[in-house]
Amino acid sequence: MTENKIHIGGLTLKVLTDGILEFDPCVFFPSTNEDDWIPHKSHLNHNSNVVFELSCYLIESQSHTILIDTGMGPNPNVQDPNFPELSNAWGIFDKSLANNHIDPKDVDHVVFTHAHRDHIGWATIGSGDTISPMFPNATYWLNEKDWDATFDETISNRFPNASTKLWPLKDFDQLKFFDESTVIVPEITLIPSPGHSPGHYCILVQSEGNGVLIPGDLLHNIAQFEHFEWISRADIEPNDTIQSRKSVFELIVNKGLIVAGSHFASGFGTLDYIEHQYQWRSVEL
Ligand SMILES: [Zn+2]
C-alpha cells in the first residue's frame, strides 16, 4: 500500500495490514488461463502471482473506534497441509496496531465483512482454555447467515478457524448480528453482497458527502472490475457473487465512491464506466 491513512469528511480511515498471501492466478481464479492475465500483468507480482494484501481498516471518529475485519491471525509458522501454497508473510496485525499506537482496548466495534479465515483471524488470541477476545471492550458484528454457515456441514469447511475465532465471541457475549437495517454508527452503511459467502457484506463509510467502500471479498483483484465474471475458488455461490458485483460496481460509479480493496495491492482507487466496461483508476489521497 502506498498510503495508509485517508480522511473521509470528519473520519479517519487507516489501513492496518496483517501481511500478504500470494497465489498462482490461474489456480485461484480457475476459469482463467495465462493468456487472460497478459493484459493485467500490472496486477501480478514479479513471480506472475497475485498478491493479496490482508488489509484491515480502522475508522476513527470523535466518539468511536471501529475496526473492519481482522486478518489471518497469529502465524504459527507451520505449513498448513490444507493450504500448502500459503506463504508465511502474514500474521503481523498486532505489530500494525502497535506501530499505529492503537490499543486494542480502545476499539469499540469490530465489523466482519464475512467469516472466512483471513478476515476473523485476530478476533481472539490464545488457544484452548486461554482463548479471549483480542478487543476486550468491543462489540463484534457479523451477519447471521455466515454464523449459521460455520455450522452447516455442507460448507463449514470453508470456515476452518470459526471454532476458535468466532464461536468463543458468543461465549463472551461480545458477538451481535447485523443486517442492512442495523445502525452500528450512522456513518456506516451495510450492503448485502452474498455469493462469496452467504452473509457477505460490503461496508460503506460516509461522512460529509464523501464515501469509501470496503468491498471485503466481493472481488480479490483489480482485474475483476473488467472481468466481473472471473470467479475465485473461494466464492461459495459464483452466480450470486457475479450479481452482487454488478450491483455494487454500479453503486461505486453512481456515488463516485473511493474503493479500499481489502486484498488489493495498490491502495485506493475509484471506478469509471466507459464503453460498457468498468475501469479502475488509482486515486492519490
Ligand atoms: Zn479474503
Distance 261 CA to ligand 1 centre (A): 10
CA 179/CA 167 separation, integer angstroms: 19
pLDDT given at position 181? 98
DSSP state of 77: -
Q: 277 C-alpha vs ligand 1 centroid, how far in Å?
A: 25
Torsions phi, psi for 64 (to 5 deg): -140, 150
How remote is the CA of residue 204 from the centroid of ligand 1, in Å? Answer: 17
**Distance in Å, CA 218 to ligand 1 centroid:** 9
**Cell numbers describing residue 40:** 493485467
Ligand 1 centroid, distance to 116 Cα (angstroms) = 7
Closest CA to 8 of 202, 191, 208, 189: 208
pLDDT, position 46? 87
18 C-alpha to ligand 1 centroid (Å): 12
**Residue 217 CA, ligand 1 centroid: distance in Å:** 5
> 20: how many CB neighbours lie within 10 A of its CB?
18
Contacts of 108 (CB under 8 A, 6+ apart): 64, 65, 66, 137, 138, 139
CB 164, CB 127: distance < 8 Å: yes
CA distances from 285 to 8, 25, 56, 159, 258 (A): 11, 29, 18, 35, 10
Q: Which domain holds residue 97?
A: 5-282
HSE-up of residue 284 (Cα within 13 Å, Cβ side): 0
222-280: per-residue pLDDT in tens? 999 999 999 999 999 999 999 999 999 999 999 999 999 999 987 899 999 999 999 99
Determine the 3-state secondary structure of 238 from DSSP: helix
- Given a contact cutoff of 8 angstroms between Cβ atoms, the answer to whether 115 and 216 are in contact is no
The three cell numbers of residue 205 are 463509510
Q: In this predicted structure, what is the pLDDT of residue 1?
A: 43
Q: Which CATH number covers residue 156?
A: 3.60.15.10
Question: What integer pLDDT is reported at residue 82 of this predicted model?
Answer: 59
Cα–Cα nearest to 114, from 56, 199, 192, 193? 199
132: cell is 479471549
Spans in the chain with pLDDT lower than 50 = 1-2
Whether 185 and 64 have beta carbons less than 8 Å apart is answered as yes
The pLDDT value recorded for residue 81 is 62
**Distance of alpha carbon 189 from alpha carbon 56, whole angstroms:** 17
Report the number of distinct structural domains present in the chain.
1
Residue type (1 letter), 28: F
Query: pTM to 2 decimals?
Result: 0.94
Q: What is the pLDDT of residue 112?
A: 98
Which residues are close to ligand 1, an ion, with C-beta < 5 A? 118, 217
Give the pLDDT confidence score for residue 257 in this predicted structure. Answer: 97
pLDDT the model gives residue 15: 95
d(CA 228, CA 217): 13
**Ligand 1 centre and the CA of 185: distance in Å?**
24
CA of 54 relative to ligand 1 center, distance in Å? 7
Whose cell is 480479490? That residue is 220
Q: Are strands 132-133 and 201-207 parallel, antiparallel or unpaired?
A: unpaired
Angle at alpha carbon of residue 207, lines to 262 and 57, rounded to 5°: 25
Distance 263 CA to ligand 1 centre (A): 7
Residue 87 has what pLDDT? 65
As given in the structure block, the three cell numbers for residue 199 are: 452473509
Q: How far, in Å, from the CA of 236 to the mean position of ligand 1?
A: 12
- Cβ-in-10-Å burial (0-12, 13-18, 19+) of 285 comes to middle
Q: What cell does 234 get?
A: 473461494
